[in-house]
Amino acid sequence: MALPIMAKATAVWLVDNTTLSFKQIADFCGLHELEVNGIADGEVAVGIKGFDPIANNQLTAEEIKKGEESPRHKLKLKFYAAAQGEQKRRGPRYTPLSKRQDRPASILWLVKFHPELADSQISKLVGTTKPTIQALRERTHWNIANIQPIDPVALGLCKQGELDAAVAKAAAKAAKDGDVMSNEERLKLVSTEQSLHMEPEPALPSSMGGLENFSLSGSSEPKNKKEAMADAESLFNLPNSDADDEDK
């Protein structure tokens, strides 16, 4: 469920200006019911100014009225302001200061597990520069010895859908250019959801290549079936030794 921006400040406003139940406010703002109760008692969100969801186009007065009349009514977000402009964003992503130290680890993960991604795609995913990406690709980064690859989705630097879209775009470009890929590389170029529905492709290990045409005689494929049968029988019809002849 989409949540309003400044959820706690929105909860403060709803507690002060409406008769909505604590559960309704908690469900709408993504908080625990006891936390909303604490806001009402003045123990939580002390000093936080209320954020008007009506003035900020996230709730309508009619929606609040419905909730006040029926405690079971669940408030519906009118406008998800946090997502505004998300699809129109261009250029590198802005990364908060608290997460910028995690960017090298996420870049190293993308370079290691998705080398098909272009530098421009990585730059948009985690909000970095091409020189930094190049330094991590070539392992010339000043702190490369202390960097461990970590999934950028787990770090909160990008969304899984954005990563899957970038990988799918790279796969489409590779297919258009006619690049030859191994099975392992092909699996890297699809999203997790797509790979789960793919049918397994039978393939021989590289070390066993050519065994499908290898005969028992050590040569190439036999000329006819009789020759193959003769070679097979020769392994079992061994000549008797001299000792066996004397015993007889």
Six-digit token string for 233: 């029988």
User: Quick count: other Cβ atoms within 10 Å of Cβ 237?
Assistant: 8
Least confident of 15-19, 76-80, 143-147: 76-80
Q: Is the dihedral of CA 127, 77, 160, 102 positive or negative?
A: positive
d(CA 150, CA 107) in angstroms, rounded, equals: 8
**pLDDT at residue number 194:** 54
Does the pTM of the predicted model rise above 0.85?
Answer: no
**pLDDT level of residue 13 (50, 70, 90 thresholds):** very high
Residue carrying structure tokens 């790979």: 195
Q: 62 with 76: CB under 8 angstroms?
A: no
**pLDDT level of residue 202 (50, 70, 90 thresholds):** low
Q: 11 with 33: CB under 8 angstroms?
A: no
**pLDDT at residue number 199:** 61
pLDDT digits 0-9 by tens, 90-135: 555 566 666 678 889 999 999 998 888 999 899 888 888 899 999 9
Angle between helices 160-177 and 119-126 (to 10 degrees): 170
Check pLDDT > 90 for residue 182. Answer: no
Residue carrying structure tokens 């559960």: 23
d(CA 178, CA 60) in angstroms, rounded, equals: 53
Query: Whole-number mean pLDDT of the chain?
Result: 75
- Return contacts of 174-181, CB within 8 angstroms, 24+ apart: 174/116
pLDDT digits 0-9 by tens, 210-227: 544 544 444 445 555 555
How far is CA 51 from each of CA 10, 46, 55, 63, 166, rounded to the nearest angstrom? 5, 14, 9, 17, 36
- The number of residues in the chain equals 248
Check pLDDT > 70 for residue 53. Answer: yes
Q: Is the dihedral of CA 138, 93, 115, 159 positive or negative?
A: positive
**pLDDT at residue number 158:** 84
Six-digit token string for 136: 């991590």
**pLDDT at residue number 248:** 47
**pLDDT at residue number 15:** 92
